[in-house]
Structure 1
């Protein structure tokens, strides 16, 4: 990768009298190969000739006054060259702050060459934002290379020659676009003998357009990229910012996000958002590496969010008072207590890792993204593993003092740097061994304590399980007891009614049971409440809606008498006579109704039974006669059939 890093030495693009001069640092394949002073004109010549991957600047205002001038400048860039603003996008930070993030230091911030060297190192390490002014479309304009002028006798032939050349070049470009498969729109402006101008609007950037050669003396060809309405800044590599996130769950959800320097990135609270909405909100702010809470036990909501991002949890050793939380968050602005608690949790997590960050920053070379190193440390990687896995990709990115042509000097400097790194790592390894011994002793003590706690908690859990089982059984028995008590009350009431019913049967009165209508539902309700016994007398208020099921219930219960109040049905009378159940019309006897019971005089009932019995005998004789007649007719029919067969 070749990177141009620039910083203004003197002058300004806004000045008409004093044009700018730049300090230029060129890095190629992780080595500094050039350091010198150039004008803007010479800088552009080197960019066009050497085709660097990145032109890195402190601010785009150093190379252009406005967007139009920046577009004109970038139109000259090779297709693979990117413009990178290392101090940020629309929101910029100072170069010192950005350089610190990549462990790059420079002694004199007023030295343009020091700043240009830092700018190149940051861009090479993947820092900064790519500046984009072109959209993903391009225009190819084929036009006359020279003016026809007034001319003389051969003027028409001369015009035909130029316009014919424009036509031929337009067709050549169109064939090339068809072969490459690019989508395009074409506009043609006719002229004498051909075309004055041909325009192609292509759905693709300049890098997608194939080469089709120059235009020649009579034709000129221009390629222009489509221009964006507004400058767009895209972070290099597309990596999201690593965050320390503090969360206060509950009815009102509070969330705070800090970067590794404890800068507040986001702070919000709401009662209207679900866990899924909060996960999306947090992901927009960046990539959470630590998810912290101010509780001594992590709530389930915080646990879900932690798992969603595969983040490292942070739980304080003990919960703090409101006064302590106010003290820790005093330097920040928040809207409510929920935002304050979330911010406090994030700050406590940052405080816990702050010293560890400082210790490892001393051990790594310049030009390395400290966010990656800190993230590895948080996720439990040892310093050796971090230096072994993360740094090899960028270990050669440390700026050196080598100038063009002095290769041996750069090699010696690199050896000295590596030897110093080895010494630092050995000292750090010895320090870690001592810490490891202390940690082993602490782990043994904590394991003993944990075993004791587990045995106590196991006994508590066993006792709680037994209590819970017994309570569940008690609930079941209580439910059965309440059901039995209700059933007992119902049976006692039924016994009381039956006693009163039995008392009425003595003497000259005979009791009967009352139902509103002769239906199966009324009979089953009577069965549930008082029972239907053999020899009972039942009074039905009306017989409308009777059916075979109701008659069958009367027959199966051996009911002696059915008294009907009104709407007597002849079919019902025949059905009951067939089952030998007495049917008495209420109009033929005197009744006394008392709710669900009634009584009738014994003498009246006996006379009604006598009358029904005489009618029953006639009914049975008529049935016998009908049956005998049916048998005779059937016999006669069979004899007639036999005669006809014979």
Structure 2
């Protein structure tokens, strides 16, 4: 940027007289211009300073003029020459006489423009901070996808990819330049169509790494961020960051985005203020917060905090709180309704609602500790700032250590030893306070000692009760327990032996029954049970329809099967040909022991099998049926 100065003064009707002056006092250009033309003058001559006699002349032009200034490639500083560094304001005529040595009367707009430029070159006046040391980079799609028809989705994806790629390129350049920034994407019915990048550096620095772009589909613009309030600085002085205006500790809920929501809550859970605004930088957020106090917790309503929230908490050394899971809309709405009624605040936007819910969630996370601190402090004989103790606890210090640290600091502040020499004797003004505290400490130590003794007694009682509950009261009982355990072990072994004997007896009985023309039949439900029953010499009982699934016909298994239900003679004959004799239970039952065990009369079984063989030897029904079918087919062919 050049060392030129642009001096301006408003004329009747709203136009400006202007003069462009070099650092050596030479005039480069002068004339009269309306606000739009004045912007073109600044753009053409690129002055480093714009000098005015009253900043209201620029402010009265409205936000549009400042907006256009913010988009200039080089944004000049504005100097009000009539405001001195001590804050006092001096008439223009007096400044001209004092610093330029010219006796003047009422100045014309042309003369005022000329003299403001000369005074600014001499370093007279105060810098008016109209713009922050922050730059907005706006990436915006220029093509609409609303009329895309069937290809609309594809157009939206392409635009979103294009916007994200440009943002990626910009952020990579900012990272290489080690510049701090935040990124916000804006989504509408057409998807991601724009993005906002707030860079925490002057536009003149940002332009070294990021250039404006205007292509067929996307536009990239850079703007200096306009200050939310007017600030005056002495020439050549640097801007001092805002600081808290009170020591009241705050929980700050933040919902970041193109529109950022902000909620401020005291440590007793009272809502102090709600804000929401577009394009709010972290510095802007802090300037609002500092009006109410000192933030110690920054809270968000999502489980994965954004970079914006992380950086904000890091800037001020606050604890970052986030819930374990994202808060649901219903939960946030209920919290907002509850607090708006309790503290008489109006929640205007969803962003304020989300920020308020985040702050309240953080408060609930700490409220038990806060209440404990208040209980302890209420018993102390001196006043202690509870917010200081709570801040230390929030930052991870145990309550006891936090109290000790704040108490020590309070004593040092309230009882600074003021030594007064009186007749060679030294008196301490805070002796009474110190004695009172010592007495209180002694009282607390005695109370702690009593509690420790009580704690030991209770532990002994617990141990005694535990021993009484889980240990035998004497050795005789222990001996009885061991004796019973031995007997249980012997009985278990005996039961196993008896089961083995019982199985042997069953086998012997089965053999005896078989020799006496009787046999056991046992119900089976699966192949495993079938194999077990057959291996023990018993006859299997099953439903007729289960034979095919339980007996492996493909392996040529043969034997007798007792069926629980009757079956057709044809099906029985087919199985008989395959070696399986299906015998209905009612025809051979001798004794019904229970549902699963039956005694079979082997004589009846033998008679049934012989009868079945006799019938099959007389007529082969299958062969006969085949002959009949062939005869019918032949008849049809003849006809």
- Fold-level similarity (TM above 0.5): no
Tell me which interval the TM-score lies in, with the shorter structure as reference length: 0.3 to 0.5
Q: TM-score, normalised by structure 2?
A: 0.33
Structure 1-normalised TM-score?
A: 0.33
Higher relative contact order (CA 8 A, sep 6+): 1
